[in-house]
Structure 1
Amino acid sequence: MFSQLFPNVNLEDMITATNETIYMTVISVAGTFILGLLLGLLLYLSGPGGLWQNKTLNWITAAIVNVFRAIPFIILILLLFPFTDFLVGTIRGPNAALPALIIGGAPFYARLVEIALKEVDKGVVEAAKSMGAKYSSIVFKVLLPESMPALISGITVTAIALVGYTAVAGVIGAGGLGDFGYYYGFQRSDFDVVLFCTILIVLIVFVFQFVGDFISRKLDKR
């Protein structure tokens, strides 16, 4: 039945493409979480009423975030070709897609981090300050733990966006399901290949959404 529905699908190649998509997504999500968290913290802490209130630092950070959020992902990949070639040694393959995926995803997540931190009860922060807690303690023992469910929900949304970005990156040779669907499906007019790649991408999105929601609910109940 499978061969009748998808006569042009090579399962071995499809498994390789799926693994490449999962690899790009997982690594880029990890990098995006770290970089986005740092940018989000800077936005929050240097903003009005923040622990490190600094208009200049806040403006610079916000400008960086806004500029990279505004650049369409396909254009960002092209702009980063020289940087990617210097960093990875190639502009093709899953590893070459990682810099663009992280740089493209981190500013988006940074804004979600900023929103999550702003939702933390200011009374809790003030109580910690009145007890003489250091800024580092307030960040790591108050702000981050209190906002963790929202942070996990935010990285889940970002991860789903990054799955879509990997498909876009595949069109210019990054590998994965996007690459496979475009070159071996669309270019050859084998639309059963395109359909199967789409189904696999949707399944990957569902898995990330399920895992993210599960972790977020667990943290919210603590």
Structure 2
Amino acid sequence: MHLGSVYRSSSDLLLLKNRSRKQPEEGKKRGGGGFTKLCRLSPQLEEFLGAPEMARTEVVKQLWAYIKEKELQDPSNKRNILCDEPLRAIFSVDSINMFQMNKALTKHIWPLDSDDVIPVKTATQKEKEKKQESEEEPDDPGRKEKRQKTGNKGFMAPLQLSDPLVKFLGTGENALSRSEVIKRMWDYIKQNNLQDPSDKRKILCDEKLKELFDVDSFVGFTVTKLLSAHFVKS
């Protein structure tokens, strides 16, 4: 009986050790799920990637695909990224290393269910605001307050749409915000399964998209550039 009890105690002890080893591993798996959760993107990042919502892992993946495609890594130090105009619009710097980039992305990726988000201002926007402040008349205190309320609505402002885009959307609307058009475009792409199964970044155009963009295929983050020709300047 005494030996049996020792045996059971040893077995119990081994079982407890195995459980204690598994628990941290399970915790790590649960904790990592946050990076694959769908998130809202800032207007700057949405314009670059062509989608209003995306998981952080997918954002990073597409950013690196763009960086490598455009050969933006510093040849003398691959960890440094030499920003072109689209990347400057997001990060507001001429160069950034991979660790700084991941930190800077937190300002552009917001919880999907959060309404309490802070618009990210680019370096150009900040310069314009400083210039406007210096030109403001001292006896007009309401002018600054009015600009603060309307200054970040440019991406959401309705724009006149081209006739081919109106026809493509099929709703009869001839003016929509850039972000709404991009959202509907990605909805259409996903509903019609137009992403290349071997590379989700590549869009395989159906007849409607071919007629609109005059291409057989395109990379997802270039959808904004393709759409720019269909926003009529007033």
Question: Shared topology, TM-score over 0.5?
Answer: no
In the superposition, the TM-score normalised over structure 1's length comes to 0.26
Q: Compare the two structures and name the one with the higher helix fraction.
A: 1
**CA radius of gyration, larger in:** 2
Q: Compare the two structures and name the one with the higher strand fraction.
A: 2
Bigger relative contact order (CA 8 A; separation at least 6): 1
